[in-house]
Structure 1
Protein backbone atom coordinates (compact mmCIF):
# COMPACT_ATOMS: atom_id res chain seq x y z
CA UNK A 1 0.00 0.00 0.00
CA UNK A 2 1.28 3.37 -0.97
CA UNK A 3 0.84 6.24 1.42
CA UNK A 4 0.24 9.69 0.04
CA UNK A 5 0.41 12.99 1.78
CA UNK A 6 -1.44 15.84 0.30
CA UNK A 7 -0.36 19.38 1.00
CA UNK A 8 -3.15 21.83 1.29
CA UNK A 9 -2.65 25.26 -0.16
CA UNK A 10 -3.97 28.23 1.65
CA UNK A 11 -6.06 30.32 -0.65
CA UNK A 12 -7.19 33.88 -0.41
CA UNK A 13 -10.71 35.04 -1.07
CA UNK A 14 -9.88 35.50 -4.72
CA UNK A 15 -8.81 31.90 -5.10
CA UNK A 16 -5.10 32.47 -5.76
CA UNK A 17 -2.52 30.72 -3.56
CA UNK A 18 -1.40 32.79 -0.57
CA UNK A 19 2.35 33.04 -0.03
CA UNK A 20 3.75 32.51 3.43
CA UNK A 21 5.03 35.77 4.93
CA UNK A 22 4.08 38.79 6.95
CA UNK A 23 1.31 41.18 6.15
CA UNK A 24 1.85 44.91 6.00
CA UNK A 25 -0.16 45.33 9.19
CA UNK A 26 2.06 42.87 11.07
CA UNK A 27 5.18 44.69 9.91
CA UNK A 28 3.73 48.06 10.94
CA UNK A 29 2.91 46.73 14.40
CA UNK A 30 6.50 45.49 14.83
CA UNK A 31 7.90 48.85 13.68
CA UNK A 32 5.65 50.73 16.12
CA UNK A 33 6.69 48.46 19.01
CA UNK A 34 10.38 48.94 18.17
CA UNK A 35 9.85 52.70 18.02
CA UNK A 36 8.23 52.72 21.45
CA UNK A 37 11.06 50.64 22.92
CA UNK A 38 13.66 52.95 21.38
CA UNK A 39 11.85 56.01 22.76
CA UNK A 40 11.95 54.52 26.26
CA UNK A 41 15.48 53.08 26.23
CA UNK A 42 17.46 55.73 24.33
CA UNK A 43 17.00 58.60 26.85
CA UNK A 44 18.01 56.31 29.71
CA UNK A 45 21.13 55.26 27.81
CA UNK A 46 22.08 58.87 27.09
CA UNK A 47 21.61 59.88 30.73
CA UNK A 48 23.75 56.92 31.82
CA UNK A 49 26.52 57.92 29.42
CA UNK A 50 26.42 61.52 30.69
CA UNK A 51 26.59 60.37 34.30
CA UNK A 52 29.56 58.12 33.48
CA UNK A 53 31.42 61.10 31.97
CA UNK A 54 30.69 63.21 35.06
CA UNK A 55 31.96 60.42 37.33
CA UNK A 56 35.12 60.07 35.23
CA UNK A 57 35.66 63.84 35.49
CA UNK A 58 35.32 63.68 39.29
CA UNK A 59 37.91 60.89 39.39
CA UNK A 60 40.27 62.93 37.19
CA UNK A 61 39.85 65.96 39.48
CA UNK A 62 40.67 63.84 42.55
CA UNK A 63 43.75 62.35 40.85
CA UNK A 64 45.02 65.77 39.76
CA UNK A 65 44.45 67.21 43.25
CA UNK A 66 46.49 64.34 44.72
CA UNK A 67 49.32 64.89 42.23
CA UNK A 68 49.33 68.65 42.90
CA UNK A 69 49.80 67.94 46.63
CA UNK A 70 52.50 65.38 45.84
CA UNK A 71 54.26 67.98 43.66
CA UNK A 72 54.17 70.47 46.54
CA UNK A 73 55.60 67.99 49.06
CA UNK A 74 58.32 66.79 46.69
CA UNK A 75 59.32 70.13 45.10
CA UNK A 76 58.49 72.58 47.90
CA UNK A 77 56.42 74.80 45.60
CA UNK A 78 53.03 74.66 43.96
CA UNK A 79 52.80 73.77 40.27
CA UNK A 80 51.72 76.32 37.67
CA UNK A 81 47.99 77.03 37.36
CA UNK A 82 47.86 75.48 33.89
CA UNK A 83 49.62 72.33 35.19
CA UNK A 84 52.21 72.40 32.39
CA UNK A 85 55.06 71.55 34.76
CA UNK A 86 53.27 68.46 36.09
CA UNK A 87 52.35 67.44 32.55
CA UNK A 88 55.99 67.53 31.43
CA UNK A 89 57.16 65.35 34.33
CA UNK A 90 55.99 61.84 33.42
CA UNK A 91 56.39 60.65 37.03
CA UNK A 92 53.05 62.28 37.80
CA UNK A 93 50.94 61.29 34.80
CA UNK A 94 52.77 58.61 32.77
CA UNK A 95 49.86 58.31 30.31
CA UNK A 96 49.60 62.07 29.89
CA UNK A 97 47.49 64.71 31.58
CA UNK A 98 43.82 63.71 31.50
CA UNK A 99 41.26 65.91 29.78
CA UNK A 100 37.73 66.48 31.03
CA UNK A 101 35.56 63.76 29.44
CA UNK A 102 32.46 65.97 29.65
CA UNK A 103 33.71 68.96 27.62
CA UNK A 104 37.24 67.99 26.50
CA UNK A 105 38.89 70.94 28.27
CA UNK A 106 42.20 70.91 30.10
CA UNK A 107 42.15 71.05 33.88
CA UNK A 108 43.51 74.10 35.73
CA UNK A 109 44.07 74.73 39.40
CA UNK A 110 42.87 77.70 41.42
CA UNK A 111 45.79 79.82 42.64
CA UNK A 112 44.13 80.33 46.03
CA UNK A 113 42.85 76.88 46.93
CA UNK A 114 45.35 74.85 44.87
CA UNK A 115 42.50 72.63 43.73
CA UNK A 116 41.11 71.96 40.27
CA UNK A 117 38.61 74.65 39.32
CA UNK A 118 35.60 74.96 37.00
CA UNK A 119 34.71 71.27 36.83
CA UNK A 120 31.62 71.05 39.02
CA UNK A 121 29.45 69.20 36.51
Structure 2
Protein backbone atom coordinates (compact mmCIF):
# COMPACT_ATOMS: atom_id res chain seq x y z
CA UNK A 1 0.00 0.00 0.00
CA UNK A 2 0.86 3.53 -0.45
CA UNK A 3 2.36 5.37 2.34
CA UNK A 4 1.48 8.96 2.53
CA UNK A 5 4.20 11.45 3.15
CA UNK A 6 3.63 13.21 6.34
CA UNK A 7 4.41 16.86 6.68
CA UNK A 8 4.90 18.45 9.97
CA UNK A 9 3.67 21.99 10.51
CA UNK A 10 7.09 23.43 9.68
CA UNK A 11 7.97 21.49 6.54
CA UNK A 12 6.63 22.46 3.12
CA UNK A 13 7.01 21.44 -0.45
CA UNK A 14 9.40 23.66 -2.43
CA UNK A 15 7.58 24.57 -5.63
CA UNK A 16 8.53 28.22 -6.07
CA UNK A 17 9.10 31.49 -4.31
CA UNK A 18 6.74 32.89 -1.75
CA UNK A 19 5.27 36.34 -2.10
CA UNK A 20 7.49 37.59 0.74
CA UNK A 21 10.65 36.35 -1.00
CA UNK A 22 9.65 38.06 -4.25
CA UNK A 23 8.88 41.32 -2.42
CA UNK A 24 12.28 41.24 -0.70
CA UNK A 25 14.04 40.86 -4.08
CA UNK A 26 11.99 43.73 -5.55
CA UNK A 27 12.89 45.99 -2.60
CA UNK A 28 16.60 45.12 -2.94
CA UNK A 29 16.51 45.89 -6.68
CA UNK A 30 14.77 49.18 -5.94
CA UNK A 31 17.44 50.21 -3.44
CA UNK A 32 20.24 49.29 -5.87
CA UNK A 33 18.55 51.28 -8.64
CA UNK A 34 18.21 54.31 -6.37
CA UNK A 35 21.94 54.13 -5.65
CA UNK A 36 23.15 53.59 -9.23
CA UNK A 37 20.90 55.90 -11.30
CA UNK A 38 22.18 59.22 -9.88
CA UNK A 39 25.72 58.12 -10.73
CA UNK A 40 24.71 57.54 -14.36
CA UNK A 41 22.93 60.90 -14.47
CA UNK A 42 26.08 62.65 -13.23
CA UNK A 43 28.21 60.80 -15.78
CA UNK A 44 25.83 61.90 -18.56
CA UNK A 45 26.01 65.52 -17.36
CA UNK A 46 29.82 65.41 -17.32
CA UNK A 47 30.02 63.80 -20.77
CA UNK A 48 27.76 66.53 -22.21
CA UNK A 49 30.12 69.18 -20.85
CA UNK A 50 33.17 67.36 -22.20
CA UNK A 51 31.66 66.98 -25.68
CA UNK A 52 30.63 70.65 -25.67
CA UNK A 53 34.15 71.75 -24.74
CA UNK A 54 35.67 69.47 -27.37
CA UNK A 55 33.32 70.77 -30.07
CA UNK A 56 33.96 74.36 -29.00
CA UNK A 57 37.71 73.85 -29.37
CA UNK A 58 37.24 72.19 -32.74
CA UNK A 59 34.99 75.00 -34.04
CA UNK A 60 37.41 77.63 -32.73
CA UNK A 61 40.29 75.95 -34.57
CA UNK A 62 38.14 75.65 -37.69
CA UNK A 63 37.36 79.40 -37.55
CA UNK A 64 41.07 80.16 -37.19
CA UNK A 65 41.85 77.90 -40.17
CA UNK A 66 39.10 79.65 -42.16
CA UNK A 67 40.74 82.98 -41.31
CA UNK A 68 44.16 81.64 -42.31
CA UNK A 69 42.80 80.40 -45.66
CA UNK A 70 40.60 83.40 -46.55
CA UNK A 71 42.16 86.30 -44.67
CA UNK A 72 38.88 86.95 -42.80
CA UNK A 73 36.98 85.32 -40.00
CA UNK A 74 33.78 83.47 -40.88
CA UNK A 75 30.90 85.90 -41.38
CA UNK A 76 28.16 86.41 -38.84
CA UNK A 77 25.12 84.18 -39.12
CA UNK A 78 21.84 83.64 -37.36
CA UNK A 79 21.98 81.40 -34.30
CA UNK A 80 21.99 77.76 -35.37
CA UNK A 81 22.84 78.60 -38.98
CA UNK A 82 26.22 77.77 -40.51
CA UNK A 83 28.00 80.87 -41.79
CA UNK A 84 28.58 80.83 -45.57
CA UNK A 85 31.77 78.90 -46.39
CA UNK A 86 32.26 77.63 -42.84
CA UNK A 87 30.64 74.29 -43.68
CA UNK A 88 33.82 73.33 -45.55
CA UNK A 89 35.68 73.35 -42.21
CA UNK A 90 33.22 71.59 -39.89
CA UNK A 91 30.68 68.79 -39.81
CA UNK A 92 27.49 70.61 -40.80
CA UNK A 93 25.29 67.91 -39.26
CA UNK A 94 26.81 68.36 -35.80
CA UNK A 95 26.54 72.13 -36.02
CA UNK A 96 22.90 72.01 -37.14
CA UNK A 97 21.96 69.48 -34.46
CA UNK A 98 22.71 72.00 -31.71
CA UNK A 99 25.08 71.73 -28.80
CA UNK A 100 25.28 68.70 -26.50
CA UNK A 101 24.26 70.90 -23.55
CA UNK A 102 21.22 72.47 -25.22
CA UNK A 103 20.83 75.60 -27.28
CA UNK A 104 22.36 76.14 -30.71
CA UNK A 105 25.80 76.98 -32.01
CA UNK A 106 26.38 80.59 -32.99
CA UNK A 107 29.22 82.45 -34.64
CA UNK A 108 29.51 86.20 -34.18
CA UNK A 109 31.60 88.52 -36.32
CA UNK A 110 32.08 92.15 -35.22
CA UNK A 111 28.78 92.08 -33.39
CA UNK A 112 29.74 91.58 -29.73
CA UNK A 113 30.88 94.93 -28.40
CA UNK A 114 34.55 95.13 -29.33
CA UNK A 115 35.02 91.44 -30.07
CA UNK A 116 36.06 90.76 -33.65
CA UNK A 117 35.10 87.07 -33.73
CA UNK A 118 33.58 84.61 -31.27
CA UNK A 119 31.87 81.24 -31.32
CA UNK A 120 29.59 79.76 -28.72
CA UNK A 121 26.16 78.71 -27.60
CA UNK A 122 22.90 80.63 -27.77
CA UNK A 123 20.19 79.23 -25.52
CA UNK A 124 17.25 80.17 -27.70
CA UNK A 125 14.72 77.71 -26.32
CA UNK A 126 16.11 74.77 -28.31
CA UNK A 127 16.75 71.86 -25.96
CA UNK A 128 17.74 72.56 -22.38
CA UNK A 129 18.65 76.04 -21.20
CA UNK A 130 21.63 76.37 -18.88
CA UNK A 131 22.22 78.98 -16.21
CA UNK A 132 25.37 80.87 -15.20
CA UNK A 133 26.27 78.27 -12.56
CA UNK A 134 26.36 75.49 -15.16
CA UNK A 135 28.19 77.65 -17.68
CA UNK A 136 30.75 78.68 -15.04
CA UNK A 137 31.62 74.97 -14.77
CA UNK A 138 32.16 74.97 -18.55
CA UNK A 139 34.29 78.10 -18.19
CA UNK A 140 36.47 76.30 -15.65
CA UNK A 141 37.17 73.64 -18.28
CA UNK A 142 37.84 76.18 -21.04
CA UNK A 143 39.24 79.26 -19.35
CA UNK A 144 39.39 80.99 -15.97
CA UNK A 145 36.04 80.12 -14.35
CA UNK A 146 34.84 83.73 -14.52
CA UNK A 147 32.17 84.45 -17.14
CA UNK A 148 32.98 88.17 -17.16
CA UNK A 149 36.68 87.83 -18.04
CA UNK A 150 38.99 85.69 -20.14
CA UNK A 151 38.40 83.96 -23.45
CA UNK A 152 35.03 82.40 -22.55
CA UNK A 153 32.40 84.93 -21.54
CA UNK A 154 28.74 85.61 -21.11
CA UNK A 155 27.67 88.43 -23.41
CA UNK A 156 23.90 88.48 -22.90
CA UNK A 157 21.33 86.31 -21.19
CA UNK A 158 21.57 82.89 -22.77
CA UNK A 159 24.68 83.72 -24.87
CA UNK A 160 28.12 82.33 -23.95
CA UNK A 161 31.06 82.62 -26.35
CA UNK A 162 34.68 81.61 -26.77
CA UNK A 163 36.49 84.64 -28.11
CA UNK A 164 38.55 83.92 -31.16
CA UNK A 165 39.90 87.47 -31.53
CA UNK A 166 39.16 90.71 -29.72
Same-fold call, TM cutoff 0.5: yes
**Normalization by structure 2: what TM-score?**
0.55
Does residue 57 of the first structure (1) align with residue 60 of the second (2)? no
Does residue 13 of the first structure (1) align with residue 9 of the second (2)? yes
Structure 2 residue ranges without an equivalent (≥5): 123-134, 139-166
- What is the deviation of 1:108? 2.7
**Normalization by structure 1: what TM-score?**
0.73
Does residue 80 of the first structure (1) align with residue 75 of the second (2)? yes
Structure 1 residue ranges without an equivalent (≥5): 1-7
Using a 3 Å threshold, how does the CA distance of structure 1 residues 71 and 31 change in structure 2: closer, same or farther? same
Q: Which moved more, 1:93-102 or 1:43-52?
A: 93-102
Using a 3 Å threshold, how does the CA distance of structure 1 residues 67 and 37 change in structure 2: closer, same or farther? same
Q: CA RMSD in A?
A: 2.9
- What is the deviation of 1:117? 3.0
Question: How many equivalent residue pairs?
Answer: 111
| Residue 114 of structure 1, aligned match among 114, 117, 134 | 117
The structure whose residues are more often helix, as a share, is 1
